[in-house]
Structure 1
Amino acid sequence: MCVQSLEVSDAKGVLQKASLGYEIPGQKYPASKIRNSPVGGSPSVWNAKDSLNSSGADEYAVSVSTTFQNYQNKGCTQFVTAPCGFMRGFRARVYPIDRTSNVGGDQKCLWVESQKCAKSVDFAPGARAAVTLRIDNLLTGFLFGRMKNVTLDLTSLSSSTNLLRVEADPIDVPKIYAYVAKSDLSKYPKIVDYWKDRRQQLAATDFTSNDTVDTGPSPEWAMGDFTAFEDLVKSGPLVTSIWRFGTQSGNGSGSKCFDDKSKLQGLVTTNAPTYLPNPPAFENGELAYKVAGAHYLEDGVTLFKGSYDLVLRSDFARCLYGFTNAPMQAKISVVSTDGSTQDIATESLREDAAREWLYLSAKNFTFSSPTIRVKLSQAIAVEAKPTSGAATSQGTTPSTVAKEATPSTVAKKSTAKQITITCVKGKTIKKVTGTSPTCPVGYKKK
């Protein structure tokens, strides 16, 4: 795995390629054919002279970390020629940086070099970034990220390597916190029960240590913490501009389509402080995704507005529903814990020109722990039966009516002859395939 390029938008919003400066000094790791691991080192520093960050500097650090595992250490010896380890996941992040001479105290330096502290700062307002990586094609399934308005491209370079490009805006993610005085614990039985479950060593009648609930390495634990402390959760003062994506350990559920481990299936991004690390679950014909956060920002008045982007491989989405290659529609809903459905100020659906990726987005919903639900549908052409005694002139074709596709209706229609037409809208060209295809709204048949 390696970083091929970094792009950052300039003041006009145009992405400009940054130039590679150097690799930060640090420990190096040689490649190992036995362990199937690449060369390892430190983050790289890039210069984007036309794309300054919030501090006015033109430097950005790119960090890509990978995890390799070999649980039983089986066969990892100098006498074995077959790879014994496997790549479990990775994380990529872009840090806008600024350097200061003050290296003392708690400066939260990313690294110190030549007596200067390299600190992470925010992206410039309205900035957008793109990272292109060469990755092992065994990295499949779903990616998760802290970003918004995502565009994803994946190209096969060889039998073992893919070229992955992710373009997106950075996103602000507020920190959240909650606490309760020990003397007030009796008022919160949900917290008491949860803590007893997590801290089995404590006595049933009281707490005998000053331990706090540790969210641990698993995001599922964080969701459990949030649920227990939900009535007390508040936003903290720190809101961080983040641009990162990577893999998580969770697996999808509810459909055999999640079993396909041969390709990258999608990307989920959100600004929710807490979320489950799994792909959206397929429940009752909908993709469901649980997120959590404080209802208000730190001032206690301003609503914290949620952002959720879902990128799905088009053939994966069609697998879920049994759809044909005809265009799809989507309905996005945000269901609160009380069962009510929120009005979403912004929602969108688009499919790229190559019909490879489906982009869904929901913005401006509120918290504390809603479930985002996405339902896809597809309009198919169904012949309208003529009324009794109706006459038709020679050459007239039967009329058609639109009908929402279901897995069963699509399966019946899929044996019919498929027709492909070309639709244009300005410079945009789309091909629509179906038994009786029509151009999307705003497009004209070529």
Structure 2
Amino acid sequence: MKTRSALRIAIALLLTVTTLTPASAADPFPMPPEPKWWKQTGLTDIRYGQWIPCRDEWQITNDCIAGINIYKSDGTDAGALTYQVPKDFKPSESVQYWLITNTPQGEPVENSAYVKDQMVPISHWKLPTGITNSDGTDLIHSYVHLMSASLQINTTGYNQDLSSLPEGYYFEFKLKSSGFAKKIKWVLSNVRDPEVSVAGDIITVKGLPENSPSAQLGDQVCDQNLLRAKTTKRNIAVNMIYYDAGNKTGETRPDDVILGTNGWWCLSDFRFDRVNQQIVVKVGNAHFDEYGNEIQGWMELKIKGNRARDWWGIDPAIAAGYAKVEISYQDGTTKIATVSAKYDSKNDWINLRAYGFTYSSPQLAISFKGPEQAVKQPVQATKTVAPKKSTITCVKGKTSKKVTGAPPKCPTGFKKK
């Protein structure tokens, strides 16, 4: 929760760079000033800034939160959360402003939006009866907002520094957006077992909150470091990115690649490297937790079976058996992570889990390439690329012969010269 002094500082900083004129006076919940990154997004019909609950009496029925539910670990429905309407809050009369933060490169950016002069947060939801945060409180903050690269769901206990979300419960968020439902590409998060699905204009996001180390404000955890985290609490951060993650494939779907990790702070590079046939992701966090213990990294990745067929030319059931995660650190050292992977044929998912690495800022390269004879050549876009033939010289004693193929192989008893 922001303190009053922090909000005053943020407002003062904002006033030095822009005005507080709403983007659209006719909007039932006026947006903040147009951010400098807006025109670069290619979006035209989606709300930027904060999203609030869908309510007919507010005339807010799009780009809004349709509901939050929680489930026990066995899938049993544990109930719906209830939105807490702040006293005297009138969306149509609200003025949003941007909180300016710096990127790891030091560039100022309009990162998140808040309502001016609103002393009680508009992001409070009450947990179902009998369920509480770790400190006994029954309110959470669930803040949904559109940023320069993604739509983020950020959910914490009532006091994000002192309390964790309830243990052992999956959280399910339903968002309604006719525009954004068509724009989601890859999904990044800090939750276990992350799931995302789209049905019409309803986006459903589900995951299990995990203890997540949070860095000190201003710490550059995306660089090699020996920093300590500020705190470790169960919270939720899900980023649904709306660009194509460098894949240049127009058919990318929101459930193609979904990532969960406790190193989600530095996800500046997350793409499919077609040259090396690897999913590449740069993760990062403080090296130690608040007690001085080395943070053990984990990653859970879900990949749609069709992507294995497209990118690696291999059946996903076979691909899961060849899952490999190579870790590269900034000092040049590399290691192979401990990996488990299974194919869920019912839902056409490869579920991969990787452990056994530490932070600060390693790059993870994920591949599923099996034996050469079981792997086809990768496709570019949606066209099959024919393998190129080449010629080698093979020798056996004093005998030599040239062999042409794609790829060429020496006959039994011969060796490549």
Q: Above 0.5 in TM-score? A: yes
Tell me the C-alpha RMSD between the 2 structures: 3.9
The 5-angstrom pairing of residues 9-48 of structure 1 reads: 9=71, 14-25=76-87, 26-29=89-92, 42-48=122-128
Q: Distance in 1 between matches of 2:260 and 2:90?
A: 32
TM-score, normalized by length of structure 1?
Answer: 0.54
Q: Distance in 1 between matches of 2:242 and 2:261?
A: 17
Q: Distance in 2 between matches of 1:286 and 1:11?
A: 32
Partner of residue 391, structure 2:
none
Partner of residue 196, structure 1:
none
Partner of residue 272, structure 1:
263
Task: Please state how far the C-alpha of 1:11 moved relative to its aligned partner.
Answer: 9.1
Q: Distance in 2 between matches of 1:250 and 1:173?
A: 27
Find out whether 1:172 has 2:165 as its counterpart: no
Find out whether 1:342 has 2:335 as its counterpart: yes
Identify the match of residue 347 of structure 2 among 355, 377, 393: 355
Partner of residue 307, structure 1:
298
Task: Please state how far the C-alpha of 1:263 moved relative to its aligned partner.
Answer: 5.2
The 5-angstrom pairing of residues 197-276 of structure 1 reads: 226-227=222-223, 230=224, 233-248=226-241, 251-253=244-246, 255-257=247-249, 259-260=250-251, 265-272=256-263, 274-276=265-267
Q: Distance in 1 between matches of 2:145 and 2:370?
A: 40
Q: Distance in 2 between matches of 1:264 and 1:90?
A: 15
Q: Distance in 1 between matches of 2:288 and 2:157?
A: 27
CA contact (8 A) 2:156 2:234 kept: no
Find out whether 1:407 has 2:407 as its counterpart: no
**Deviation digits for residues 165-218 of structure 1 (CA, Å, limit 9, x no counterpart):** 3222233123157xxxxxxxxxxxxxxxxxxxxxxxxxxxxxxxxxxxx79xxx
**Deviation digits for residues 295-320 of structure 1 (CA, Å, limit 9, x no counterpart):** 333444x2211122223333234322
CA contact (8 A) 1:311 1:359 kept: yes
Percent identity, aligned pairs only?
15
Q: Distance in 1 between matches of 2:286 and 2:124?
A: 35
Task: Please state how far the C-alpha of 1:124 moved relative to its aligned partner.
Answer: 3.3
CA contact (8 A) 1:309 1:361 kept: yes
In structure 2, the residue corresponding to 1:137 is in which secondary structure? Answer: helix
Unaligned runs of 5+ in 1: 31-39, 70-87, 99-107, 109-118, 178-213, 216-221, 380-401, 414-446
Residue type of the alignment partner of 1:164:
T
Q: CA 1:23–1:139 in 2, change beyond 3 Å: closer, same or farther?
A: farther
The 5-angstrom pairing of residues 355-374 of structure 1 reads: 355-374=347-366
Q: CA 1:268–1:19 in 2, change beyond 3 Å: closer, same or farther?
A: closer
Residue type of the alignment partner of 1:18:
A
CA contact (8 A) 1:130 1:168 kept: no
Residue type of the alignment partner of 2:199:
S
In structure 1, the residue corresponding to 2:136 is in which secondary structure? Answer: coil
Find out whether 1:137 has 2:181 as its counterpart: yes
Q: CA 1:378–1:50 in 2, change beyond 3 Å: closer, same or farther?
A: farther
The 5-angstrom pairing of residues 96-175 of structure 1 reads: 96-97=157-158, 121-135=163-177, 136-150=180-194, 152-157=195-200, 161-175=201-215
Residue type of the alignment partner of 1:20:
T
Unaligned runs of 5+ in 2: 1-62, 94-114, 116-120, 387-417
Residue type of the alignment partner of 1:28:
P
TM-score, normalized by length of structure 2?
Answer: 0.57
Residue type of the alignment partner of 1:321:
W
Q: CA 1:291–1:95 in 2, change beyond 3 Å: closer, same or farther?
A: closer
Partner of residue 111, structure 1:
none
Task: Please state how far the C-alpha of 1:128 moved relative to its aligned partner.
Answer: 3.3
**Deviation digits for residues 226-270 of structure 1 (CA, Å, limit 9, x no counterpart):** 43xx35x411442243212123476523x443x435655332232
Q: CA 1:10–1:277 in 2, change beyond 3 Å: closer, same or farther?
A: same
In structure 1, the residue corresponding to 2:309 is in which secondary structure? Answer: helix
Identify the match of residue 297 of structure 1 among 267, 281, 289: 289
Larger Rg: 1
**Deviation digits for residues 358-413 of structure 1 (CA, Å, limit 9, x no counterpart):** 3322134112322111111358xxxxxxxxxxxxxxxxxxxxxx95323269x799
CA contact (8 A) 1:143 1:245 kept: yes
CA contact (8 A) 1:248 1:277 kept: no
Q: CA 1:138–1:27 in 2, change beyond 3 Å: closer, same or farther?
A: farther
Q: Distance in 2 between matches of 1:50 and 1:351?
A: 37
Q: Distance in 2 between matches of 1:166 and 1:358?
A: 17
Q: Distance in 1 between matches of 2:79 and 2:303?
A: 27
Residue type of the alignment partner of 2:238:
F
Q: Distance in 2 between matches of 1:360 and 1:63?
A: 29
Task: Please state how far the C-alpha of 1:273 moved relative to its aligned partner.
Answer: 6.2
**Deviation digits for residues 333-373 of structure 1 (CA, Å, limit 9, x no counterpart):** 3233344443535x332343433433322134112322111
Residue type of the alignment partner of 1:96:
G
Q: How many residues align?
A: 289
Q: CA 1:412–1:291 in 2, change beyond 3 Å: closer, same or farther?
A: closer
CA contact (8 A) 1:174 1:273 kept: no
Q: CA 1:325–1:269 in 2, change beyond 3 Å: closer, same or farther?
A: closer
